Amino acid sequence: MTVGSQVKTCYATLKSIEAGLGLLHASTTEQDLKNTIEEVSVLIKDARHDVHQQVIHIDKQEPQYKS
């Protein structure tokens, strides 16, 4: 597996985690848990954004790996 494909897999995983956190947030009524999920969601969103920037960089640097 190339580094490019590993980065893209990481990006997809982060998107999946975000979706899962959204579902968990919607299904819980416990406010403390909702607050924790919101905090974690911000961290995951930031990480996903950073990884997405790397995907863009890799696609520009290595066009053969472009999705």
Query: Can you give the pLDDT of all 67 residues of the chain as single tens digits?
Result: 788 889 999 999 999 999 999 999 999 999 999 999 999 999 999 999 999 999 999 888 866 655 5
Where in the chain does DSSP place strands (E)? none
CA angle 18, 58, 12 (to 5 degrees): 20
- Which pLDDT belongs to residue 65? 55
- Which pLDDT belongs to residue 31? 97
Q: Are 3 and 57 in contact (CB under 8 A)?
A: no
The model's pTM is 0.84
